[in-house]
Amino acid sequence: MQLTLQYPFWYFLLCILAGTLGAFALYYRDKQFKDLGASFKKMIWLMAAIRFLLISFLAFLLLSPLIRSLTNRIEKPIVVVLQDNSQSVKVNWKNDDSLKYSQQVRDFENQLSKDYEVKNYSFGSSLNEGLSFYYQEKTTNISAALDEIVNDFTNQNLGAIILATDGIYNEGSNPDYLTSKLKAPVYTIGLGDTAIKRDLILTNVYFNRTVFLGDYFPIKEEWLAQFCPNEKTTATLKEILAGNEKIIDTKAISIEGNDDRGSNDFLIKAEDPGLKHYRISLSAITNEASAINNVKDIFIEVVEKKEKILIVANAPHPDVAALKQTIEQNRNYAVDVSIGSDFKGNVKDYSLIIFHQLPSSGNPIQSLLDQIHAQKKSVLFILGAQSNLSMFSSAQTMLAVTGSNGSTSEALPVFANEFTLFTIPEILKQNLNAFPPLITPFGDYKPSAGAAVLFNQKIGTVPTKYPLIVFQQDLDGRSAVIAGEGLWRWRMWDYLQHNNQDAFNSLISAMVQYLAVRADERQFRVRLEKEQLGNGSRNFSESESVIFNAELLNESNELINTPDVSLTIKDEEGKEFPFIFSKTGNAYSLNAGYFSQGNYSWFSKTKFNNKDFTAAGSFSVTPTQLEFVNTRADHQLLYSLSEKTGGKLFYPSQLNDLAKAIKDKQEIKPVLYSTTRTEPLINQRWLLLPLLLLFAMEWGIRKFNGGY
């Protein structure tokens, strides 16, 4: 601690002089105590000394002296313990093994806690604080757990990470890829058994999640047999009805070698609609390691009919193939294609008609347009170089295009933030700016007052107010315009960038579902987000959240969320789970969380303007069995991870050696933090106490002896 003056030292002499003068003025000519005699002079000198000290010190404080202090803080090294809490860890353990190991870990922590700050976590699909030895997590994501630890302890004295796991991961990336981010050594504890055991495994089941009434559909199962030579087993397909099993078909399997694998196909007819629960199983063989991985449950929805969509094109075009392939990924839709004036069917059979570069000068399609208007069918126009813009502007009311002389321009999509007709998938928003341009007719674009623009055109580097994709709903139904050709480029670009077409598929899926919706579903809609943005699937795993989206339209077809919307989910036993939707923007959203295996139905309702609205549906949940597909521990991964980060692989019986290795690691040591603090001396509140005591002493002596 150091005292610093902001004024020259001789100012301190002035403080002493002030104290001397103050004491002298008060006590030199004071006549109050003359009757007390010479013996009281010592007390006068004492009171004068006190007054001298008080005045001098107060004057000194007015000089604003500064006090500088140095504080040292020692921070212990942090040791993070990560415990794998997934199901695969306990496959080869007995209860006694688990109890013994948990006690060993706690004893190990007690050893370290004297010299280190120990932080405990358990992980499976996600990271959780505290140790857990129940081994109930149904998936394992080692890389996510390590990555979260790295982020949480950035700029802290992280000494070591202790990772206790069997090395089996079935989510996330290879944790070996994280070694460059890991700035602390990773010491691994190898759990599980690395030996290849005698086991029969049902590895995969392939099936269509949606089939149609009256169709035959296949189910294919694949199996793996390890160290089961010359054994026989049976693959059985059962249908689960109200908790009872009905055998549909069986296949005999002969296992030949120590590492044998094969597959079997089942062909079933969809005889009645609804969600169907099937169970595929392999009969157990003697002394196999686990029978849990011999069984898989699947859920298949049988629907009565497909929604039909018609694409009418002026001429063959790659856009037509791209649209057909994308739409038919949703098994609820069937697509018919007609070129030019070849269509001879009835538009009554279709939920949505898509015109590609029609009407054109060669194909005015006036008769077909009249049928669509008469039956109030939804329609989607796709413009291009072959479109007759005058005929197009007369065929609908949402968008007028004038001034084109047959020339075209390239337009990039720009999202219109005010669009609210349906939810835009996040994957599309993230990739929209990189999509290649569409070929649009050159001209002046004027949307109607009731049009809702999804994307505007960006021509070159200039954003415009010309719509690229626009929607409208009126008394004739729903309609939309894509003001450019070249959608196939979007689909190809998406695949080249991501090895899938998820962004493009989500856009087309959202547009088609909005346009093809039936009239009686328009004012109040409740849908599963997975069904809405994916391929129409209503099947979830136990590790997936079930999320619903809802929309309510007023009489002007505007989205509102004024009234509350409730939803009740019911399981096969009749147990109900009630929920209330959250209001988001001008719509509704609900994350119902996780559900266990089984079939579920749901019912949603709301009330607006004294009118009741309802919606209903169903979904299924299949068990997550990833932890039992592969139960062989991967200690080679753990060895590699430790070696690359400066750690070492240990086993449960070597925890004392692990504690010693950490203590012997010179790099894992406390950090001394020194903090220098400078502040005015007057801020030291403790100084008030001696000052008050001195004042009280002087006043007490004076008062006791008759002074004032």
Can you give the CATH number for the domain in which 358 is found? 3.40.50.880
Q: What is the pLDDT of residue 56?
A: 87
Provide the CB-side half-sphere exposure for 379 (13 A, CA).
28
Q: How confident is the model at residue 520 (pLDDT cuts 50, 70, 90)?
A: very low
Helix (H, G, I), strand (E, B) or coil at 497: helix
- Report whether 124 contacts 134 (CB < 8 A): no
User: Are residues 683 and 658 part of one domain?
Assistant: no
Q: What is the pLDDT of residue 469?
A: 94
In angstroms, the CA 94 to CA 3 distance is: 68
pLDDT (average), residues 329-335:
82
Q: What is the pLDDT of residue 656?
A: 93
Q: What is the pLDDT of residue 432?
A: 81
**Measured between alpha carbons, how far is residue 145 from residues 82, 181, 383, 621 in Å?**
8, 13, 50, 26
Inside any domain, residue 143:
yes
Q: What is the pLDDT of residue 207?
A: 84
User: Are residues 527 and 501 part of one domain?
Assistant: no
CATH number, position 294: 2.60.40.10
Inside any domain, residue 358:
yes
User: Are residues 322 and 288 part of one domain?
Assistant: no
Is residue 404 scored above 70 in pLDDT? no
Structural domain of 203: 199-303
Q: What is the pLDDT of residue 704?
A: 77
User: Are residues 292 and 379 part of one domain?
Assistant: no
- Report whether 323 contacts 487 (CB < 8 A): yes
CATH number, position 180: 3.40.50.410
In angstroms, the CA 298 to CA 219 distance is: 10
Inside any domain, residue 241:
yes
- Report whether 273 contacts 306 (CB < 8 A): no
- Report whether 5 contacts 680 (CB < 8 A): no
User: Are residues 384 and 430 part of one domain?
Assistant: yes
Inside any domain, residue 629:
no
To the nearest 10°, report the CA torsion of 402, 406, 407, 410.
70
Return the bridge partners of 323, or none.
none
Inside any domain, residue 627:
no
User: Are residues 183 and 101 part of one domain?
Assistant: yes
Inside any domain, residue 504:
yes
User: Are residues 532 and 476 part of one domain?
Assistant: no
User: Are residues 420 and 280 part of one domain?
Assistant: no
Q: How confident is the model at residue 251 (pLDDT cuts 50, 70, 90)?
A: very high
Q: What is the pLDDT of residue 123?
A: 95
Q: How confident is the model at residue 140 (pLDDT cuts 50, 70, 90)?
A: very high
User: Are residues 137 and 125 part of one domain?
Assistant: yes
Query: How many domains, in total, are found in the chain?
Result: 5
Q: What is the pLDDT of residue 556?
A: 66
Domain boundary among 483, 499, 515: 515
State pLDDT tens for residues 68-85: 887 777 888 999 999 999
Is residue 558 scored above 80 in pLDDT? no
pLDDT (average), residues 20-29:
79
Inside any domain, residue 345:
yes
User: Are residues 435 and 346 part of one domain?
Assistant: yes
User: Are residues 452 and 597 part of one domain?
Assistant: no
In angstroms, the CA 680 to CA 157 distance is: 33
Domain boundary among 559, 590, 622: 622
Is residue 325 scored above 80 in pLDDT? yes
Please provide the average confidence, as pLDDT, over all residues in the chain: 87
| Tokens linked to 516 | 């093809």
- Burial annotation 113-126 (CB, 10 A radius, 16+ → b, else e): eebbbbbbbbbbbe
Q: What is the pLDDT of residue 636?
A: 94
Is residue 29 scored above 80 in pLDDT? no
Domain boundary among 482, 498, 515: 515
CATH number, position 527: 2.60.40.1930
User: Are residues 324 and 472 part of one domain?
Assistant: yes
Inside any domain, residue 628:
no
Place of tokens 């979260």: 148
Contacts of 660 (CB under 8 A, 6+ apart): none
Q: What is the pLDDT of residue 36?
A: 64
Nearest to 472 by CA among 398, 409, 410, 383: 398
